[in-house]
Structure 1
Amino acid sequence: MTTPDHQSPASQPPVPTPKDRIYRSPSALAGGVLLLLVVAWLGFDALFQGHGRTPWLALAGMILIVPLVIAFTLRPAVFAGEDRMRVRNPFRVISLPWGQVASLRSGYSNEVVAKSGRKYQLWSVPVSLRARKKAEMRKSRAAADAARGAEPTRRTFGFGGMGGFGGTGGTGLATGPTRAETDQVMDELRELLERHGEAESAQGEVTVRWAYEVIAPALAGAIVFAVLLATG
């Protein structure tokens, strides 16, 4: 009895599909959690301690506010894979095959431009002009150090870099990235577009889906809140 030296193609294990890269805003996530805690604290206090119409107004207000807070802070994300990018904005989800992406633009906001000419803002990749300015300053300092043939200057501090007295080191800017974090994200997305834009699996149509799971409860809360105010 002989044993085959190789397996047939049908018996080969499937090749795992690479996971999508996920881009979200850490500051938006932190702000969203904080806002939800405040809304929950004030809302439940009014629900259980309020009198008359106050609990109903608090309930309607929470139904209105909570979905909006989630929509603008926790929900936005960009999912980038080999075949397409999916943009999850507050009220819409846009799926763009790389073959339908014309460009990725960075200005006062980051956006993806489809070949049809439609533009979609990337809510989860906000532009930080302050971060850009800091990165440009580091880049200029690094270029000046390179021109002098010197090592990049670095600030160090006492107590293990946590600040305080007894620090030693240069007077220049602390070394760090010469590109703002969100600009680096856009560079990665452009790299994916360049690598997969012509692939056969990256072709298709752009689809846009409205986030009714956010819109419906927010609209219901707004209607109930308006009725309570009007009948008060």
Structure 2
Amino acid sequence: MTTPDHDSPAPPPPASQFKDRAYRSSGGIAGGVLLLALAGWLGIDAIVSGHGRTPWLALATLILVVPLIVAFTLRPAVHANEERLRIRNPFRIVVVPWGEAATLRSGYSNEVVVKSGGKYQLWAVPVSLRARKRAARQGARAKADRAADASGGGRRGRLGGVFGPSGLSGGAAVPEGSPRAESDKVMDDLRELLEAHEQAETAQGEVTVRWAYEIAGPALAGAVLLAILAATG
């Protein structure tokens, strides 16, 4: 007969069904890196080579501009798992448990609407009307191609049935869904998470909002320094 070993470590908790999914704008990140490089190049050159008040003006401008560039390009992100949606916007971090989310809405911007009536924009998932139009054109072309294949055109008709519409011997065309813009695909993923977990016990709680003082503080300091230099000039 064996006795339980009270010193043995407790078994690890079961792994979550979903790990955090992270969504960010690749275009925003690329633009932010370029803007930071340009601001750093111009600002440091002015600090090193400038005369009189120029280095101080350049320093104050950098202190103001760099946090703002980071806030609007590199910082925005959306993290989602089976419990909540975490939105990191330029100046706020919003955590929305799925139980408090009413809907995810797409228009000229993507946003989550909570049951209390508030709404929060998803800066990291920007809407591209150009991408939507391109996806609509691709969908229309694909629909026209499928209609032509169904009416007996295409390679099957021309080659006497040797090749199917998919281009393989005896193959059948694989139906494709309507093309979607990348941001719309992200919103589809988030809606699936909402529908799957909004009733879960672990997805309940309150919406929390935290201001990004680490961004606002330096930017405000730069603005104050720039105003002082301008007033004393």
Gapped regions of structure 2 (runs ≥ 5)? 155-175
Equivalents in 1 of 2:177, 2:216: separation in Å?
A: 41
1:77 aligns with 2:49: no
TM-score, length of structure 1 as denominator length? 0.83
Alignment partner, residue 205 of structure 1: 206
Structure 1 residue 148: deviation in Å?
1.9
- The aligned runs of 1:26-37 (5 Å cut-off) are 26-37=26-37
- The aligned runs of 1:118-157 (5 Å cut-off) are 118-149=118-149
Equivalents in 1 of 2:211, 2:65: separation in Å?
A: 19
**Residue type at the aligned position of 1:66:** V
Equivalents in 2 of 1:148, 1:70: separation in Å?
A: 50
TM-score, length of structure 2 as denominator length? 0.83
Gapped regions of structure 1 (runs ≥ 5)? 5-9, 154-174
* SS of match in other structure, 1:87: strand
Structure 1 residue 208: deviation in Å?
0.6
* SS of match in other structure, 2:86: strand
Structure 1 residue 216: deviation in Å?
0.5
Alignment partner, residue 87 of structure 1: 87
| 1:129-186 per-position Cα deviation (integer Å, ceiling 9, x unaligned) | 01000101111111111222269x9xxxxxxxxxxxxxxxxxxxxx997000000000
Structure 1 residue 15: deviation in Å?
2.2
Structure 1 residue 100: deviation in Å?
0.4
Q: Is the alpha carbon distance of 1:176 and 1:230 closer, same or farther for their aligned partners in structure 2, counting shifts above 3 Å? A: farther
**Residue type at the aligned position of 1:98:** W
* SS of match in other structure, 1:44: helix
Tell me which structure has the larger Cα radius of gyration: 2
| 1:42-69 per-position Cα deviation (integer Å, ceiling 9, x unaligned) | 0000111001111111100000000000
**Residue type at the aligned position of 1:188:** D
Identity level (%): 66
Alignment partner, residue 170 of structure 1: none
Alignment partner, residue 232 of structure 2: 231
Equivalents in 2 of 1:79, 1:102: separation in Å?
A: 18
Alignment partner, residue 38 of structure 2: 38
Equivalents in 1 of 2:73, 2:231: separation in Å?
A: 31
* SS of match in other structure, 2:103: strand
Structure 1 residue 19: deviation in Å?
2.5
Give aligned pairs, total: 205
**Residue type at the aligned position of 1:100:** E
Equivalents in 1 of 2:123, 2:106: separation in Å?
A: 12
Equivalents in 1 of 2:116, 2:223: separation in Å?
A: 35
The answer to whether the Cα contact below 8 Å between 1:139 and 1:178 also exists between their aligned partners in 2 is yes
Alignment partner, residue 11 of structure 2: 12
Equivalents in 2 of 1:225, 1:140: separation in Å?
A: 54
**Residue type at the aligned position of 1:25:** S
Measured on the aligned residues, the alpha-carbon RMSD in Å equals 2.2
